[in-house]
Structure 1
Amino acid sequence: MNELFGRMMAKATALTRNGQLGEATLAIQRALRGVQPGASTFTPATPATTAAPSLAPEHAGGHAKDAMVLDGYARVIDITDVTPAVDTESPPEVDVPQEERWIDGSFGHQGRKLAYKLFLPPCAAGVAADPRPMVVMLHGCTQDAADFAAGTRMHALARDLGVVVLYPEQGRHANPQRCWNWFKPQHQQRGRGEPAILAALVHAIAAEHQVDPDRVFIAGLSAGGAMAEIVGRCYPDVFAAVGVHSGLPAGSAKDVATALAVMRSGNAGASAAAVTGAVPPTIVFHGDADAIVHANNGAAIIDAARRANGLDASGVPPAREAEGRTPTGQSYTRTVYSDADGRAAAEYWQLHGAGHAWSGGDARGSYTDPSGVDASAEMLRFFLAHPRRRR
Structure 2
Amino acid sequence: MVSLRATTLFLSLISSSLAQNLNGLCSGSVSTTNFTDSCGGQWTVYCNADASPSSYGTINNVASFGECKSLCSNDNAQNRCDTVTYTGTTCYLKRGFRNIVRPSNANSATVFYPVPAYPAPVTNGVARSSGCGQPLNSQIVAGGASTQFSATGADGYVRTYNVHVPSTYDPNKAAPLIMAFHGRGDSGSAMESNSGLSIERINPYGISVYPTAIKDQDQQNTWQGDPSYATNRTVDDIGFVRALVTNISAQYCVDTSRVFAAGMSNGGGFVNVLACDPVMSSVFNAFAPHSGAFYTSTGDSNTVCFPNTVLTNDLVHTTCSPSRRVPMIEFHGDADGTIGYFGGGRRGYCLPAIPHWTQDWAIRNNLTSDNVTTVTNGGNLTRYEFGAASGYPGLVTHFRLAGWSHTYSLGANGGPIDSAAFSLNFFYRWTNPNGPTQDYLAPIYTSTASSRVSCPFTVTQTTTTTTTTSSSTSSSSPIITSASSLVTAGSSSGSVATSASAVAAGGPSSTLNGYPVYTDPPTCPNSNGTYYYDPYVGDRVNGLYYFIMFGGCHCNTCDILPSD
TM norm structure 1: 0.62
Task: Write out per-residue CA displacement over residues 136-172 of structure 1, whole angstroms, 9 at most, x where no aligned residue.
Answer: 1101122111112111111104675211111011133
| Alignment partner of 1:324 out of 352, 362, 376 | 376
What SS does structure 1 have at the residue aligned with 2:199? helix
Q: Which residue of 1 aligns with 2:126?
A: none
Compute the displacement of 1:179 (Å). Answer: 2.3
Give the unaligned 5+ runs of structure 1: 1-97, 363-368
Structure 2: distance between partners of 1:352 and 1:272: 31
Residue 321 of structure 2 corresponds to residue 277 of structure 1: yes
Q: 1:299 to 1:121 in 2, by over 3 A?
A: same
Task: Write out per-residue CA displacement over residues 231-277 of structure 1, whole angstroms, 9 at most, x where no aligned residue.
Answer: 1221112011111111133x6137xx759999996774775832322
Structure 1: distance between partners of 2:392 and 2:178: 24
Structure 1: distance between partners of 2:163 and 2:302: 32
Task: Write out per-residue CA displacement over residues 7-33 of structure 1, whole angstroms, 9 at most, x where no aligned residue.
Answer: xxxxxxxxxxxxxxxxxxxxxxxxxxx
Instruction: State the number of aligned residues.
Output: 274
Q: Kindly provide the amino acid, as one letter, of the partner of residue 312 in structure 1.
A: T
Residue 382 of structure 2 corresponds to residue 333 of structure 1: yes
The list of structure 1 runs, each at least 4 consecutive aligned residues, that deviate by more than 6 angstroms after superposition, is: 185-192, 259-264
Q: Which residue of 2 aligns with 1:71?
A: none
Q: 1:172 to 1:276 in 2, by over 3 A?
A: closer
Q: Which residue of 2 aligns with 1:386?
A: 430
Q: Kindly provide the amino acid, as one letter, of the partner of residue 245 in structure 1.
A: H
Whose RCO is larger (CA < 8 A, sep 6+)? 2
Q: 1:171 to 1:370 in 2, by over 3 A?
A: farther
What SS does structure 1 have at the residue aligned with 2:276? helix
Contact 2:224 2:316 in 1 (8 A): no
Q: 1:186 to 1:177 in 2, by over 3 A?
A: closer
Q: Which residue of 2 aligns with 1:240?
A: 285
The percent identity for this pair of structures is 21
Q: Which residue of 1 aligns with 2:207?
A: 164
What SS does structure 2 have at the residue aligned with 1:143? coil
Structure 2: distance between partners of 1:129 and 1:342: 33
Contact 1:239 1:280 in 2 (8 A): no
Q: Which residue of 2 aligns with 1:223?
A: 266
Contact 1:233 1:280 in 2 (8 A): no
What SS does structure 2 have at the residue aligned with 1:156? coil
Q: Which residue of 1 aligns with 2:246?
A: 203
Contact 1:112 1:197 in 2 (8 A): no
Between 1:344-353 and 1:99-108, the stretch displaced more is: 99-108
Compute the displacement of 1:388 (Å). Answer: 9.0
Q: 1:268 to 1:248 in 2, by over 3 A?
A: farther
Q: Which residue of 2 aligns with 1:353?
A: 403
Task: Write out per-residue CA displacement over residues 107-164 of structure 1, whole angstroms, 9 at most, x where no aligned residue.
Answer: 112112210101111137xx67311111111011221111121111111046752111
Structure 2: distance between partners of 1:190 and 1:310: 31
Query: Whose helix fraction is larger, Structure 1's or Structure 2's?
Result: 1
Residues 22-33 of structure 1 correspond to what in structure 2 (within 5 A)? none
Structure 1: distance between partners of 2:275 and 2:432: 12
Q: Which residue of 1 aligns with 2:394?
A: 344
Contact 1:135 1:164 in 2 (8 A): yes
Residue 414 of structure 2 corresponds to residue 370 of structure 1: yes
Compute the displacement of 1:211 (Å). Answer: 1.1
Structure 2: distance between partners of 1:303 and 1:103: 39
Q: Kindly provide the amino acid, as one letter, of the partner of residue 246 in structure 2.
A: H
Structure 1: distance between partners of 2:219 and 2:303: 20
Structure 2: distance between partners of 1:188 and 1:131: 40
Compute the displacement of 1:382 (Å). Answer: 0.4
Q: Determine which structure has more spread, i.e. the larger CA radius of gyration.
A: 1
TM norm structure 2: 0.44
Contact 1:285 1:298 in 2 (8 A): no
| Alignment partner of 1:292 out of 338, 344, 348 | 338
Contact 2:368 2:387 in 1 (8 A): no
Residues 1-391 of structure 1 correspond to what in structure 2 (within 5 A)? 99-101=142-144, 102-110=146-154, 111-123=156-168, 129-157=172-200, 161-172=204-215, 176-183=219-226, 193-234=236-277, 235-249=280-294, 252-253=296-297, 258=300, 268=310, 273-278=317-322, 280-296=326-342, 297-312=353-368, 318-325=370-377, 331-338=380-387, 340-360=390-410, 362=412, 369-387=413-431
Q: Kindly provide the amino acid, as one letter, of the partner of residue 104 in structure 1.
A: Q
Compute the displacement of 1:299 (Å). Answer: 2.0
Q: Which residue of 2 aligns with 1:50?
A: none
Structure 2: distance between partners of 1:224 and 1:262: 26
